[in-house]
Amino acid sequence: MVIVMSPGATPSDVEAIVEVIGTAGGEAFVSRGVSRTIIGLVGDVARFEALDLRAMAGVADVMRVSTPYKLVSRENHPERSTVRVGGVPIGPGTVTLIAGPCAVETPEQTLQAAEMAKAAGATLLRGGAYKPRTSPYAFQGLGEAGLRILADVREETGLPVVTEVVDAHDVELVASYADMLQVGTRNAQNFALLQAVGASGRPVMLKRGMNATIEEWLMAAEYIAQRGNLDVVLCERGIRTFETATRNTLDVSAVPVAQRLSHLPVIVDPSHSGGRRDLVLPLTRAAVAVGADGVIIDVHPHPEQALCDGPQALVDGDLAELADVMRRFPALLGKTAAGELLTSA
């Protein structure tokens, strides 16, 4: 069982619950988040139910959920959630386009990529300042200098920034520049990092681990939620299979499966899934058609010079088609592209 405390709950409200649970022979695990406290209960559920916990001071919700993930489960939360990033919605009813360079390289390259993203209808800018690279000899990102470039480009274009954090120690710094924190596939089960982003007060985009089952992915999201942060967006980015023609295999079925199991929004990364420019638009169409709440796409003004993932970046010549997909495909499903929603507001 899980108890969600209301934002105004006092430390003594929490103490009282811990005591009552202890007296009932159970254990209470208290997680104090930025906006609210979550208490996990271990022990005899029937005895807890007899306690009428809902009536205790400061309690907002008592959840008895059969799945191992509780706060992100749809069982107790049938409405699908919308997460807002700098005012941009990601959730049911809209399809949000996030685009930008894989890595921030220079101010000019980042600004040009952001302008490409905007031209295609993107409402959020992606770009990595900390890059988790397979090789220690590859470009590792510009670090804080890259975050400053992203903040400048946000200023110039008005696009809120999504950027990856790879180390729990950097969360506060990255959160001071970013509108949304990204946790990448290689860190998808780095529990210290998940807890740190859960305490950051920023929305989080959680990529699926390349070898993670959907349940493991949702358990990773639960780590973030358990720190009081329910502003989590799940991102399917392809999984490892025996296939070598593509970088990863986009698990299209993961989108409706995750949406049925969890109330969190689910987006798709067609760039890192296929790892090939020629597959990005077909996979984007598939993602929107299967019901994804958004897509995150790499674009680059000069991919042949890119320091990271050039072969999968869309170029200027692809933007009209991407914009066309974003205009027509959401409408077929009765959805609005998030870009249109903001322009008509």
Whole-number CA gyration radius for the chain: 21
The residue within the footprint of ligand PEP, chosen from 112, 157, 185, 226 (CB under 6 A), is 185
213-242 residues in contact with ligand PEP (CB under 6 A) are: 237
Q: Please, what's the b/e burial string for 147-157 (b: 16 or more CB within 10 A of its CB; e: otherwise)?
A: bebbbebbeeb
User: x-or-dash pattern for ligand PEP, window 131-160, by CB under 6 A?
Assistant: -x----------------------------
For residue 207, which of 193, 198, 226, 220 has the smallest C-alpha distance? 220
Candidate ranges 5-13, 34-42, 179-187, 319-327; the one touching ligand PEP (CB under 6 A): 179-187
Q: Which two tokens stand for residue 311?
A: 């072969």
Q: Which is nearer to Mn ion, 309 or 318 (CB)?
A: 309
Q: Which stretch binds Mn ion (CB under 5 A): 54-62, 148-156, 198-206, 308-316?
A: 308-316
Interhelix angle 277-290/254-261, rounded to 10 degrees, is 40
Contact status, residue 182 vs residue 16, Cβ threshold 8 Å: no
Q: How far is the CB of 265 from ligand PEP (least distance, A)?
A: 17
Query: Contact letters (x/-) for ligand PEP, 266-285, by CB under 6 A?
Result: ---x--x-------------
Binding mask 65-104 for ligand PEP (x = CB under 6 A): -------------------------------------x--
Sign of CA dihedral 247, 249, 250, 255: negative
User: 94-100 and 124-126: which strand pairing?
Assistant: parallel
Query: What is the phi-psi region of residue 66: left when phi exceeds 0, alpha when psi lies from -120 to 50, beta otherwise?
Result: alpha
CB nearer to ligand PEP: pick between 2 and 99 = 99
Query: Using CB atoms, what's the residue nearest to Mn ion?
Result: 102
Those residues whose C-beta lies under 8 Å from the C-beta of residue 248, and which sit 6 or more positions away, are 210, 237, 238, 239, 240, 241, 272, 273, 274, 275
Q: Which is nearer to Mn ion, 73 or 312 (CB)?
A: 312
| Residue ranges in contact with ligand PEP by CB under 6 A | 102, 128, 132, 164, 184-186, 207, 237, 269, 272
